């Protein structure tokens, strides 16, 4: 019996020693396993030429404090900056890491970014996807987007263009149509973020154009390669320069202004005709006639006809003077009357 008891005790001691040995053997293996975790959003979205921020969390799940080292790889690694490249976490501690991507303006598409966390005895990778697309960075406000005027006259339209992005960009301004008839001031301008640029559009259509003309005001950006269009309308009035003449109405001296504020017609014909007729009538009444005076008969010739005849010579015979012109029945000189009539007709014309 004593021998059996000794054997049993020896076996029990051996089992206990084996269990203790196994326990000490397994403890380093447990500690050598993954002692941290890393997690974060799988996808991020951002705009071209803009800064994109991303985050992820690292937690120490081991039994001992552990230093961790962070590094990055992938298509966006050269444009990415981490807030912390090295961490020291106590057992059970976690920390959020912030990263920033400053991608170039020409970069657009879907890219991956991989962060590698390295511990004393473990290493883990976290891959995140970043979507980069062109985003609108302008706001166009029409001040005058519909102009009304007359043919042959310039029209003015005004727009305000605001940079709504977080970076400066070059904005160019144009019209989709009628480029040969437009002057834009300015044609392009670098606009800082948050600021507004006023654009003036001067339209000068040919005189043959009339009615409504519609086109688009186009704003294009250089860095983000975007375009924004706004409608534009110009109405050319056809009735601005219409004239009218009413022969039955009373004559009006001076300009007559219509409701549209433009000179419509002048009427002087009636007064011209009246003045011309008056000149002719006055000329016929007041211009002295060119009658030929008759020489008075010599009373003495009746008493002494023979004696008077003896003294008469051919040189002493009185002839009609050339200064007297032939007159009509009214006593008006034909030459003077013709001059008056020609003058009156010229005045009428």
What whole-number distance in Å separates Cα of residue 131 and Cα of residue 46? Answer: 6
Distance, first Cα to last Cα, the chain: 165
Domain end call among 83, 107, 133: 133
Give the C-alpha separation, 65 to 90, whole Å. 4
113 and 168 housed in the same domain: no
Domain boundary, last residue among 133, 163, 187: 133
The pLDDT value given to residue 335? 56
Q: Please indicate, yes or no, whether residues 112 and 171 belong to a single structural domain of this protein.
A: no
Q: Which of 122, 130, 131 is nearest to 58 (CA)?
A: 122
pLDDT given at position 31: 45
% residues pLDDT > 70 (the chain): 61
Helix (H, G, I), strand (E, B) or coil at 21: helix
Is 94 a member of any domain? yes
- 100 and 166 share a domain? no
Count the neighbouring beta carbons within 10 Å of the beta carbon of residue 227: 13
According to the model, what pLDDT value does residue 318 have?
Answer: 45
Q: What pLDDT, on a 0 to 100 scale, did the predictor assign at position 154?
A: 87
Which token pair is 115?
A: 């962060």
Mean pLDDT of the chain: 74
In the structure encoding, which two tokens stand for residue 67, read together? 């230093």
Backbone angles phi, psi at 88, to 5 degrees: -130, 110
Q: Is the pLDDT of residue 258 over 50?
A: no
Q: Look at residue 109 and tell me if it is in a domain.
A: yes
Q: What is the pLDDT of residue 140?
A: 93
Report yes or no on 287 lying in a domain: yes
State the average pLDDT over residues 127-139: 89
- Other Cβ atoms closer than 10 A to 181: 17
Which tens digit of pLDDT belongs to each residue from 282-311?
Answer: 766 665 554 444 455 544 444 444 444 444
User: Are 81 and 94 within one domain?
Assistant: yes
Are residues 146 and 126 part of one domain?
Answer: no
Average pLDDT over residues 88-97: 90
Nearest to 69 by CA among 89, 57, 83, 85: 85
**Mean pLDDT, range 155-176, rounded to an integer:** 91
**CATH code of the domain covering residue 54:** 2.60.40.10
Distance CA 289, CA 285 (A): 10
pLDDT of 223? 83
Domain limit, last residue, from 109, 133, 157: 133
The verdict on residue 71 lying in a domain is: yes
Confidence of residue 312 (pLDDT cuts 50, 70, 90): very low
Res. 314: pLDDT tops 80: no
pLDDT of residue 261: 40
- In angstroms, the CA 1 to CA 57 distance is 65
Asked if 226 and 199 sit in the same domain, the reply is yes
CA triple 26-66-83, angle to 5 deg: 150
Question: What average pLDDT does range 308-336 have in this prediction?
Answer: 47
Q: Give the model's pLDDT for residue 197.
A: 94
Flag whether pLDDT at 186 surpasses 90: yes
In a domain, 9, yes or no: no
Same domain (yes/no): 227, 177: yes
Task: Tell me, yes or no, whether 261 lies in a domain.
Answer: no
- Same structural domain, 124 and 40: yes
| Distant-in-sequence, close-in-space partners of 133: CB < 8 Å, separation ≥ 6 | 45, 46, 47, 48, 108
pLDDT of 157-166, one tens digit each? 999 999 998 8
* 143 and 233 within one domain: yes
For residue 185, pLDDT over 60 is answered with yes
Q: How many domains does the chain have?
A: 3
**Could you tell me if 57 and 127 lie in one domain?**
yes
pLDDT attached to residue 284: 66
Mean pLDDT over residues 211-235, rounded? 88
Give the pLDDT of residue 213: 86
Sign of the Cα torsion 177, 183, 185, 190 reads: positive
Residue 43 shares a structural domain with residue 129: yes
Per-residue confidence (pLDDT) for residue 195, from 0 to 100: 93
pLDDT tens, residue by residue, 42-61: 999 988 888 899 999 999 88
Does residue 104 sit in the same domain as residue 143? no
156 in any annotated domain: yes
- Whether 182 has a pLDDT exceeding 50, the answer reads yes
- The pair of three-digit structure tokens given for residue 345, joined into one six-digit string: 């007709």
Query: Which band of pLDDT confidence, cut at 50, 70 and 90, is reported for residue 348?
Result: low
User: Which structure tokens are listed for 124?
Assistant: 């883990």
Residue 164 belongs to some domain of the structure: yes
Average confidence (pLDDT) over 65-94:
90
pLDDT class of 251 with cuts at 50, 70, 90: very low
Residue with tokens 């983000």, as numbered in its chain: 224
Phi/psi-derived region of residue 178, left when phi > 0, alpha when psi is between -120 and 50, beta in every other case? left
Q: Who wins on pLDDT, 344 or 36?
A: 36
* Stronger pLDDT, 42 or 20, i.e. the higher one: 42
pLDDT at position 56 is 93
Would you state the pLDDT for residue 55? Answer: 94
In this predicted structure, what is the pLDDT of residue 63? Answer: 85
**Can you give the residue range of the structural domain that contains 123?**
36-133
Q: What is the mean predicted confidence (pLDDT) over 168-197? A: 91
**How far is the C-alpha of 333 from the C-alpha of 311, rounded, in Å?**
37
């Amino acid at each position: 019996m004593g021998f059996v008891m000794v054997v049993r005790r020896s076996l029990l001691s051996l089992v206990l020693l084996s269990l203790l040995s196994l326990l000490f053997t397994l403890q380093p293996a447990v500690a050598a396993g993954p002692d941290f975790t890393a997690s974060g959003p799988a996808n991020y979205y951002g705009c071209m030429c803009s800064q994109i921020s991303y985050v992820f969390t690292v937690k120490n799940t081991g039994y001992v404090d552990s230093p961790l080292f962070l590094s990055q790889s992938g298509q966006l690694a050269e444009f990415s900056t981490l807030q912390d490249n090295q961490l020291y976490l106590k057992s059970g501690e976690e920390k959020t890491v912030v990263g920033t991507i400053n991608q170039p303006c020409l970069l657009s598409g879907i890219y991956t970014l991989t962060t590698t966390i390295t511990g004393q005895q473990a290493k883990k990778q976290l891959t995140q996807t970043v979507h980069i697309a062109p985003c609108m960075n302008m706001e166009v406000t029409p001040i005058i987007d519909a102009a009304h005027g007359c043919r042959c006259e310039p029209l003015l339209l005004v727009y305000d263009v605001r940079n709504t992005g977080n970076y400066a960009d070059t904005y160019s301004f144009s019209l989709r149509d009628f480029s040969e008839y437009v002057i834009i001031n300015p044609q392009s301008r670098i606009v800082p973020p948050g600021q507004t640029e006023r654009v003036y559009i001067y339209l000068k259509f040919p005189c043959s154009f009339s009615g409504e003309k519609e086109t688009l005001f186009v704003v294009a950006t250089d860095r983000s390669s975007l375009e924004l269009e706004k409608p534009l309308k110009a109405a050319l009035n056809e009735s601005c320069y219409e004239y009218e003449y009413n022969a039955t109405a009373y004559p009006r001296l001076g300009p007559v202004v219509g409701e549209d504020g433009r000179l419509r017609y002048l009427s002087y014909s009636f007064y011209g005709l009246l003045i011309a007729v008056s000149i002719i009538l006055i000329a016929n009444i007041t211009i002295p006639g060119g009658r030929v005076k008759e020489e008075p008969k010599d009373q003495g010739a009746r008493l002494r006809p023979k004696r008077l005849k003896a003294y008469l010579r051919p040189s002493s015979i009185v002839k009609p003077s050339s200064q007297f012109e032939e007159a009509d029945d009214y006593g008006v000189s034909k030459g003077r009357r013709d001059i008056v009539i020609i003058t009156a007709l010229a005045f009428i014309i």
